[in-house]
């Protein structure tokens, strides 16, 4: 059985303000680094055979410590990047609503709108799943792969795992939001989703669970 451990990055600059960070290459916050340390401790005993990641630093810096602890190289794939926000980049909700009220209303109602000059969630799911399918095709049957990515691509991959089409916003049903450094586990062949949004490594640590 092949396993994918799909991990969202640790808290990054702009997350607390709920900014549309997208592909802006921001670093982890101090809290994010603490979350990563906990994640690394948890994964140190797992027989991971390969590490792949978005090339954006917040995702890369989330999985590099585990890769180093296990003596593995990190393989980067830009298809695992977060959504390209276009003109929404680095704005907060109030900014978007003020400048694009009709588009924002449709977005809030769950429509998969394309950001002006950017992508839609369908675009993100298609490219992220393509990256995963190519990865899986090259794996041995007993590989365990750590996948470092972002909330949007991770949710797209999880929808693929349960056979859900790339339609509508990834923030709606069936999953909702993913926490920073959460682990979701998929097995193959299938695919089959086993665990979702697992943050056991953060529980009981005041201030780390966000």
Note down pLDDT in tens along the chain; length 210 residues. Answer: 899 999 999 999 999 999 999 999 999 999 999 999 999 999 998 999 999 999 999 999 999 999 999 999 999 999 999 999 999 999 999 999 999 999 999 999 989 999 999 999 999 999 999 999 999 999 877 899 999 999 999 999 999 999 988 888 887 768 889 999 999 999 999 899 999 999 999 987 655 544
Per-residue model confidence (pLDDT) at position 176: 85
Per-residue model confidence (pLDDT) at position 205: 63
Per-residue model confidence (pLDDT) at position 210: 43
Per-residue model confidence (pLDDT) at position 1: 87
Per-residue model confidence (pLDDT) at position 38: 97
Look at residue 133 and tell me if it is in a domain. Answer: yes
Per-residue model confidence (pLDDT) at position 94: 97
Look at residue 104 and tell me if it is in a domain. Answer: no
Look at residue 94 and tell me if it is in a domain. Answer: no
Residues of the domain holding 70: 2-15+28-83+120-198
CA 96 to chain CA centroid, Å, is 23
Per-residue model confidence (pLDDT) at position 206: 53
* CATH number of the domain enclosing 56: 3.40.50.1240
Tens of pLDDT, residue by residue over 112-156, are 999 999 999 999 999 999 999 999 999 877 899 999 999 999 999
- For the chain, the residue count is 210
User: Quick one: the chain helix, strand, coil %, rounded to 5?
Assistant: 35, 15, 45
Per-residue model confidence (pLDDT) at position 185: 98
Look at residue 75 and tell me if it is in a domain. Answer: yes
Instruction: Find all residues with CB under 8 Å of 139, minimum gap 6, and list them.
Output: 2, 50, 145
Look at residue 70 and tell me if it is in a domain. Answer: yes
- Up-side HSE of residue 138: CA atoms within 13 Å toward CB? 10
Contact in structure between 166 and 121 (CB atoms under 8 Å): yes
Look at residue 192 and tell me if it is in a domain. Answer: yes
Per-residue model confidence (pLDDT) at position 207: 52
The residue annotated as part of the active site, out of 9, 11, 150, 201, is: 9
Look at residue 115 and tell me if it is in a domain. Answer: no
Residue 196: closest CA among 183, 209, 187: 183
| Residue 9 annotated in active site | yes
The residue annotated as part of the active site, out of 11, 17, 18, 82, is: 82
| Residue 82 annotated in active site | yes
Look at residue 72 and tell me if it is in a domain. Answer: yes
Give the total number of structural domains in the chain.
Answer: 1
């Amino acid at each position: 059985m092949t396993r994918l451990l799909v991990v969202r990055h640790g808290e990054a600059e702009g997350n607390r303000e709920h900014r549309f960070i997208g592909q802006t290459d921001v670093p982890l916050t101090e809290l994010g680094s603490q979350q990563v340390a906990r994640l690394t401790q948890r994964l140190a005993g797992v027989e991971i055979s390969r590490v792949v990641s978005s090339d954006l630093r917040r995702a890369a810096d989330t999985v590099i410590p585990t890769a180093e602890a296990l003596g593995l190289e990190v393989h980067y794939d830009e298809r695992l990047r977060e959504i390209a926000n276009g003109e929404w980049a680095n704005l907060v909700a109030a900014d978007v609503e003020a400048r694009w009220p009709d588009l924002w209303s449709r977005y809030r109602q769950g429509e998969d709108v394309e950001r002006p000059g950017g992508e839609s969630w369908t675009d993100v799911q298609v490219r992220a799943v393509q990256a995963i399918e190519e990865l899986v095709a090259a794996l041995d049957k007993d590989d365990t792969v750590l996948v470092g990515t972002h909330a949007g691509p991770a949710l797209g991959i999880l929808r693929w795992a349960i056979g859900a089409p790339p339609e509508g916003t990834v923030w709606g049903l069936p999953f909702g939001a993913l926490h920073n450094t959460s682990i979701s586990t998929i097995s193959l062949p299938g695919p089959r989703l086993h665990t979702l949004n697992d943050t056991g490594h953060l529980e009981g640590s005041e201030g780390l669970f966000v």
